[in-house]
Amino acid sequence: MSTMRKIAWIAGIVLIGLMAGIFWYKFYFVFGEGVKAGSLNYFVKKGIMFKTFEGRVVQEGFQSPTAGALQSNEFRFSVADDEVAAKLERASGKFVELRYTEYNGALPWRGASNFIVTEVLTVKETGKTGGSALPYDQ
């Protein structure tokens, strides 16, 4: 094998490795983890090729991305686990605490959001009826 062919093979392998590393960092590297709480506004299963669970939690208070403009503080998320999705389908309109994982990019089969909810921590009734926050396992 000539020297040029060896260099081309090594360069190709390095390029493939670099592209795989960039793909992993963009779509599989866990950028952040945390908990968000608020009223579950909606939760749906939708999609054309990949049916994914998508939801939105409206948090208390307001945020201002630009001076003078107020908007509601929404947390849009996806759910990849069917068990977590089943819990959220029964919690529409209730106050929920959700544990999530944040990625740098969204994959079509994982959901439309970079935020993937991995666990439902608590669900409680909202409004004047009261209700206590209970772990969802009950």
Q: Average pLDDT over the chain, rounded to whole?
A: 87
For residue 129, being part of any structural domain is answered with yes
- Number of structural domains the chain divides into: 1
For residue 34, being part of any structural domain is answered with yes
| Model pLDDT, residue 120 | 95
Tokens of 37: 């709480």
Query: What span, in angstroms and rounded, lies between the C-alpha atoms of 31 and 29?
Result: 6
Which residues have a Cβ under 8 Å from the Cβ of 118 and sit 6 or more positions away? 81, 84, 99, 100, 101
Instruction: State mean pLDDT over 73-81.
Output: 93
For residue 73, being part of any structural domain is answered with yes
Tokens of 109: 């089969």
Query: What span, in angstroms and rounded, lies between the C-alpha atoms of 136 and 121?
Result: 6
Enter the pTM of the model: 0.76
CA 86 to chain centre: 16
For residue 121, being part of any structural domain is answered with yes
| Model pLDDT, residue 125 | 86
Query: What span, in angstroms and rounded, lies between the C-alpha atoms of 125 and 95?
Result: 6
Residue 76 is part of which domain span? 30-135
For residue 1, being part of any structural domain is answered with no
For residue 108, being part of any structural domain is answered with yes
Between β-strands 69-79 and 115-124, what pairing exists: parallel, antiparallel or unpaired?
Answer: parallel
Give the tens place of pLDDT for each residue, 21-53.
Answer: 999 999 999 999 999 999 999 999 999 999 999
Q: What is the CATH number of the domain that holds 110?
A: 2.40.50.140
For residue 124, being part of any structural domain is answered with yes
